[in-house]
Structures are given as C-alpha cells and as structure tokens.
Amino acid sequence: MADVLDALLDATNDYDVVVVESMARGYTRIKQLAPDAIIVFVDMEDHAVCQLLSMLTADPDTVDIPIVTWTKRPSLLQPSSQPRLTAVAA
C-alpha cells in the first residue's frame, strides 16, 4: 500500500515521499525530516503504532504536524460484513 501512495504522491511533483518500514525508525526519521504531514499505515495488532502516535503528539517539535492514519479494512461486500452493513443501513 505504501508503494501505491508513494507513486500517486510522487506523480504530482508536489510531494517528496519518504517511506519508513518500521515504527522504531519512523520517529527518528520524522524528527530528522520535520515533514509537512505524516501518513501512518496502521495495523491494529501492532502496538508500536500507538506508541509512535503518542510520542509524536507529546513532542513539542512534532505535535503540530498533521497525521493521517490509514488502516486496511475488509471489504464491505464480504459475506461476513453483510449483517453489520444491513443493520447500519436499516
């Protein structure tokens, strides 16, 4: 997913995209680069994401950087999601 987003944003020539594969290295790179925005791919089972977000919001140098979280979600069309979707739509 990071590759797709990287290609989309690079195609505009308005953004320099830096992809960091680990949350541990992410904080260090964010501090070094002082980006205009951060996109975090969230795996709900990865507790390092919560720690990274806490560190960024607690740090005076990074607290004002907008953060977008992006998570992979099962398709609403999958059979297991149908009853919940129906209940919401009713």
Which tens digit of pLDDT belongs to each residue from 43-56?
666 678 888 889 99
Q: How far is residue 45's CA from residue 79's CA, in Å, rounded to a whole number?
A: 23
- Check pLDDT > 50 for residue 85: no
Residue 32 · residue 26 · CB < 8 Å: no
- The answer to whether 41 and 66 have CB atoms below 8 angstroms apart is no
Q: What is the domain partition of the chain in residue ranges?
A: 2-89
Q: What is the pLDDT of residues 6-20, one digit of tens each?
A: 777 767 777 777 888
Q: What confidence tier does 5 reach under pLDDT thresholds 50, 70, 90?
A: confident
Euclidean distance between CA atoms 73 and 70, whole angstroms: 9
- In angstroms, the Cα distances linking 86 to 13, 48, 72, 74, 79 are 42, 34, 21, 16, 11
